[in-house]
Amino acid sequence: MARNRFVRKLNELRRGVIDMGAITLQSVKDVLTALETSDTALAERVIANDDKIDNFDRKIESQCVRLLALEQPMAKDLRIIATSFKMITDLERIGDWSVDIAEEVINMGKPIRIPVSASKFNELVADVKAMVADSIEAYTQGNVQQARSFEARDDRIDSLYKQIVDDMVNSLAQGKCSTETVADVTSLLYVIRYLERIADHAVAIGNRICYMEEGERRYLK
């Protein structure tokens, strides 16, 4: 009976993390849509939605502490709780970076111009969005193989990030950008930095999943 009660609470914990992940992923999707379409109203909703993510963070943290204090879990049960406790911090930070992007969308207040590296920027956006979605899916399914793929995928994102920064900085230095696009370039430099950080948290989630499933501690970015 006690074991059944504990398993039920553990399942509730995992469902809460998955729900938090779904809301966080929606914020990422919405803010990237807002960035593409210059939808400031949608950006405002992303900012407002961050309260829901923060509420999940506090609620799940309390669940983890209660389970650790009262149930004295062992082996994989303990790893599930520890992973969930750490993962909600990654999700909360992804939500915060989404808010930062939303604020850039609002500050620009007009359709964004990408004077250089447009194709690379679009690749970066698509890759980051996919990484977040896949990290939540990997946690849901306990998919270690998928989780291990994130580090290699992050290397590609880091490469794209560096290429875009170099291209934009060179364009500014060489005076290739018009006065109208200089502000957009500055905002985009912030945005791509936020995207790169979001990807890093997806990698951290993947590494935590490896620990949860196999007890393997991997380097966490």
Whether the pLDDT of residue 165 is over 80: the answer is yes
DSSP notation for 5-37? HHHHHHHHHHHHHHHHHHHHHHHHHHHHHHHHH
Instruction: Give the angle subtended at the CA of 34 by the CAs of 28 and 38, to the nearest 5°.
Output: 155
Task: Provide, rounded to the nearest whole percent, the portion of the chain with pLDDT above 70.
Answer: 94
The pLDDT of residue 221 is 47
| Domain contains 220 | no
**Measured distance CA(120)–CA(171) in Å, rounded:** 15
Whether the pLDDT of residue 197 is over 90: the answer is yes
| Domain contains 154 | yes
Confidence band, pLDDT 50/70/90 cuts, at residue 2: low
Judge residue 118's burial from the number of C-beta atoms within 10 Å of its C-beta, 0-12 exposed, 13-18 middle, 19 or more buried: exposed
The stretch 104-112 carries a mean pLDDT of 84
CATH number at residue 16: 1.20.58.220
Whether the pLDDT of residue 125 is over 90: the answer is yes
| Domain contains 221 | no
Per the structure, the complete domain to which residue 67 belongs is given by 2-214
More confident residue, 60 or 117: 60
The stretch 116-144 carries a mean pLDDT of 94
The stretch 47-69 carries a mean pLDDT of 95
Q: Closest by alpha carbon to 89, among 53, 117, 121, 141? A: 53
> Tens digit of pLDDT for each residue in 71-90?
778 889 999 999 999 999 99
Please state the domain count of the chain.
1
